[in-house]
Structure 1
């Protein structure tokens, strides 16, 4: 699944570097002894660890004023005066070894809920993960405390930073649209969803959104590639930005069929945010360009809708797939199904697919801390940078509302196999 993000200007992610370079390493085994503890005792130790730790600057709530980078490094040095910190370098990020006590809210998440996503990621493990994945398949934790302790036993946390040492980034959200459709044009259902045309790879870039939707000859050429029809051009744009969607297709006999539209390519035109276009035209104020507000503006201004939608020349094509298990998300760029609330899209040049991540951000609705375990399992053309993630909310209108409002500060910690520490990982 390759998606765009409506609120961020796009740039195609560069190919990830082929190795992580270890700069400094000082081994620590302080949590190995937890493996033999009972869950209740282990949970108590987790609480004691959080209570006794001196909270480092990295645990500052994203909504509050964060200390400067210099202050953060000074505080960390005071907290661990005898310890050198291992640093792993990637193409667009550096990972700095951390203590579990530095992860804000660690031990409070429903950690056992990560296991389905973790096992999905282990279907295509990153180099160095074979042993950990083999153990994860046979040692399923029976509680959140057991899951947290299992991760502490087998993995080591690293704070993700930019190459310049910046540890704060951005968290946005995405979702899988769930839409009504028809097989043939019928009533209001006149907006086609296209499969990739045969000449898509030969003509680069391909025709723009405006050309595809307005030029009669081109529309006629693409008619044989029509997969289904929607009743709203904005829904087509949403489907194309998210990169995948579920369609409930009703036939003339009243029978219904659920299918998935999966990403099959795009026209190689630049992605432009329609939210940004509305702000530049003075129709929305900065900070107002959420999906619900954009949808509301377009529906109040139907005669100007095409003009605004055409400001984004990017056009995405799809292939139809059986929906299969309705409780599973679409396949992400890692090639495994996404898990709502546990899968995120990342920049592969910063974080490899299959990496568990501890994220510290804010819930888009309540603005309370959002601190939880996730898996790096997807990417997107707008998801670039070291501390950058797109949070998969699931499918349907509620997921759309959550994703459309999410644009919050982010801190990330990558969890990597302890047995790989100190090596050139890959």
Structure 2
């Protein structure tokens, strides 16, 4: 289904995006000049790259190099012979950007609604319309049809009113705040009463722009930019239950889920590998791209110098030097993710032409 007015707007947006990309540069760097590159576990990075090739090889940019990867036994040789490295430099001539973290959360839930499990996890609605124009790719138009016109889909507040009949819960959880953070992470697990684990994967989004509730709390002087993190946000929400809806609803974006046989998967549709996959802004970095990331562990303050693969995206991950580091599953991953707001460099590996 095509809607000329909306497609025109999106194409204009694409024009301005392409113009903005001219303001950034990619500075070529030799592998020998990348601190920590040869000290990293390149064999593990190589295995992750080949795993992600299952999907990324569809992109002509990666087809040949993915095929070539099956002929190599030496990871160092593979990367240095098949790629060139480029440091991303932003429009302000800086090589530093924000690196945050994410994880796979665990919630408690049930397939039946009860007094305890009363917060619905919604599947993809039947009335959600996504433009099928392949030329638009990532800049898809999302909404619903009303009176033969495409209109924006319901906001978070409208969805959580429980008055929209087209919304079908796939299960229920016991914590509204944790459900919100599940949507921020994009996938997770739900433990049932019998200890069975149900995997939830990202199924879609309502098309509304993401807005950080952390930014909202800073703007309203609840926290300073320096002190705020995921843990402090959760503590504040749990201590101010009457303000929860008001704060959460400032982010109109809403994520829908599906039950999956796999643990956490990213936008590339491959299973995410802890500490070896990242989420990026794919206007600047294509999914499947090997990326050497130089940042800092938020807890130990030790350097993180790792070759990872871009395999996911996120509503908050916007900008040329911007990444979300996937920590995995469990309490340590949760703590690191909530605390991480470090700065670092991003060096992309581009297939040789």
Q: TM-score, normalised by structure 2?
A: 0.82
**Structure with more relative contact order (C-alpha pairs < 8 Å, separation 6 or more):** 1
CA distance in 2 between counterparts of 1:393 and 1:226 reads: 28
Q: 1:233 aligns with which of 166, 172, 176?
A: 176
Query: 1:117 maps to which residue?
Result: 48
> What are structure 1's unaligned runs of at least 5 residues?
1-13, 20-88, 142-146, 421-426
User: Which secondary structure state, in structure 2, belongs to the residue aligned with residue 409 of structure 1?
Assistant: strand
Contact residue 16 and residue 91 of structure 1 kept, 8 A: no
**Secondary structure at the residue paired with 2:160?**
helix
2:211 maps to which residue? Answer: 272
Distance in 2 (alpha carbons) for counterparts of 1:400 and 1:91: 37
1:148-227 alignment to 2 at 5 Å?
148-163=76-91, 165-201=93-129, 202-203=144-145, 204-214=151-161, 217-218=163-164, 221=165, 225-227=168-170
TM-score if structure 1 supplies the norm length?
A: 0.69
Q: Any conservation in 2 of the 1:339–1:392 contact (CA below 8 Å)?
A: yes
Match of 1:75 in 2: none
Q: Which has the higher strand share?
A: 2
CA RMSD of aligned residues (A): 2.5
Equivalent position to 1:107, from 29, 38, 46: 38
CA distance in structure 2 between the aligned counterparts of 1:213 and 1:276, rounded to whole angstroms: 22
- Displacement of 1:373 after TM fit? 0.4
Cα deviation, residue 361, structure 1? 1.0
- Hey, what's the Cα distance between the residues in 1 that align with 2:192 and 2:216? 32
CA distance in 2, matches of 1:283, 1:304: 12
CA contact (8 A) 1:178 1:397 kept: no
1:16–1:348 contact (8 Å) kept in structure 2:
no
The equivalent of 1:341 in structure 2 is 275
Residues 92, 242 of structure 1: alpha-carbon distance in 2 compared, 3 angstrom cutoff: farther
Size of the alignment, in residue pairs? 318
Q: CA deviation at 1:304?
A: 2.3
3-state SS in 1 of match to 2:313: strand
Unaligned runs of 5+ in 2: 1-12, 130-143, 146-150
Q: Secondary structure at the match of 1:269?
A: coil
Q: Give the greater-gyration-radius structure (CA).
A: 1
- 235-244 or 380-389: bigger deviation: 380-389
Name the counterpart of 2:191: 248
Match of 2:227 among 288, 293, 296: 288
Q: Does 1:310 align with 2:249?
A: yes
CA distance in 2, matches of 1:91, 1:127: 23
Residues 384 and 140 (structure 1), Cα distance of their counterparts in 2 relative to 1, 3 Å cut: same
